[in-house]
């Protein structure tokens, strides 16, 4: 249920890292540094290699709390699904929108500024007992390619010491060098994830209506209904209409 996956992958692909000579020693050094930091502070960290579409998760003590191995684990994906599946669906939508806006913003900056910024938020994440706890999350570009493109990305998860109980993920894009802070608002973007027609179709699916009845109610063809169905599945990264209804409801998209 990882919404906006395509949009984020498109940002990675636009870096054209396949045309660059990337130093594997730098990658190994960043992995070793990440493991050392986790051993000291116990938070869960993820290092993503945008060039190979792969990641390394080092769970630490926080990772153990949410069911993640404390040891370094490699995955053949730029998305840490093992963690995303534990994040509250509504918070995951906003977290992914924050990441997308963050990477788009950083990509416009000159190379000397790209590693100065980080995106931070708070999220609800399930522990091993199935209860949601408040966690602090941050994402930053750790290493640029020789041509100054986004290459290695570091994502951190830890206890939210400043949890105020306020609603929302409190998204921020923060400059660590200057203290400058941007506070994006995703309310409008969230409302546009599904089109109004897709929401209409999904509401009728939720009511148990088959495609033919949906077509009659909305005054469109069955082919168009099925096209909307497919678009909904792709946007919500789910496998069927029942999952789509459950996902959209959990994410509060309808």
Residue range 27-59, pLDDT digits in tens: 999 999 999 999 999 999 999 999 998 999 999
| Distance from chain centroid for Cα 173 | 15
Q: Is residue 253 a contact partner of residue 192, using CB atoms and an 8 Å limit?
A: no
Say which residues have a Cβ less than 8 Å from residue 168's Cβ, sequence separation at least 6. Answer: 94
Separation of alpha carbons 185 and 211, rounded Å: 35
DSSP state of 99: H
Q: Which domains does the chain have, with CATH numbers?
A: 5-187 (3.30.450.20), 194-251 (1.10.10.10)
Question: Percent of the chain having pLDDT more than 90?
Answer: 69
Separation of alpha carbons 31 and 42, rounded Å: 15
> Residue 159: which pLDDT band, with cuts at 50, 70 and 90?
very high
Phi, psi dihedrals of residue 152, rounded to the nearest 5°: -105, 130
Q: Is residue 121 a contact partner of residue 169, using CB atoms and an 8 Å limit?
A: yes
Dihedral over alpha carbons 192, 198, 202, 205 (to 10 degrees): 180
Q: Is residue 97 a contact partner of residue 4, using CB atoms and an 8 Å limit?
A: yes
pLDDT over threshold 80, residue 164: no
How many residues would you count in the chain?
A: 254
Considering only CA atoms, which of 144, 91, 97, 104 is closest in space to residue 10?
A: 104
Write down the pLDDT at residue 80: 80
| pLDDT tens column, 75-86 | 887 778 889 889
Six token digits for residue 105:
């913003």
> Residue 163: which pLDDT band, with cuts at 50, 70 and 90?
low
Write down the pLDDT at residue 195: 93
| Mean pLDDT (whole number) for 167-184 | 91
Maximum C-alpha span of the chain: 62
Separation of alpha carbons 232 and 132, rounded Å: 27
153 has which bridge partners? 48, 141
Write down the pLDDT at residue 222: 95
């Amino acid at each position: 249920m990882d919404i906006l996956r395509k949009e984020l992958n498109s940002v990675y692909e636009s870096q054209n890292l396949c045309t660059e000579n990337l130093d594997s020693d730098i990658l190994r050094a960043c992995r070793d540094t990440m493991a050392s930091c986790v051993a000291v502070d116990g938070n869960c960290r993820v290092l993503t290699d945008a060039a190979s579409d792969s990641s390394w998760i080092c769970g630490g003590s926080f990772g153990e709390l949410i069911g993640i191995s404390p040891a370094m684990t490699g995955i053949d994906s730029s998305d840490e699904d093992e963690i995303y599946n534990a994040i509250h669906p509504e918070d995951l939508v906003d977290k992914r929108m924050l990441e997308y806006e963050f990477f788009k913003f950083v990509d416009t900056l000159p190379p000397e500024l790209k590693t100065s910024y980080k995106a931070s938020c708070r999220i609800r994440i399930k522990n091993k007992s199935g209860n949601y706890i408040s966690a602090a999350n941050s994402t930053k570009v750790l290493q640029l390619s020789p041509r100054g493109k986004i290459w290695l990305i570091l994502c951190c998860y830890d206890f939210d010491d400043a949890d105020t109980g306020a609603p929302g993920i409190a998204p921020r894009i923060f400059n660590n060098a200057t203290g400058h802070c941007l506070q994006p608002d995703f309310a409008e973007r969230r409302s546009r994830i599904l089109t109004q027609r897709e929401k209409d179709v999904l509401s009728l699916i939720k009511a148990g209506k088959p495609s033919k009845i949906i077509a009659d109610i909305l005054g469109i063809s069955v082919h168009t209904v099925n096209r909307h169905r497919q678009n909904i599945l792709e946007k919500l990264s789910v496998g069927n209409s029942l999952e789509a209804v459950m996902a959209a409801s959990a994410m509060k998209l309808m």
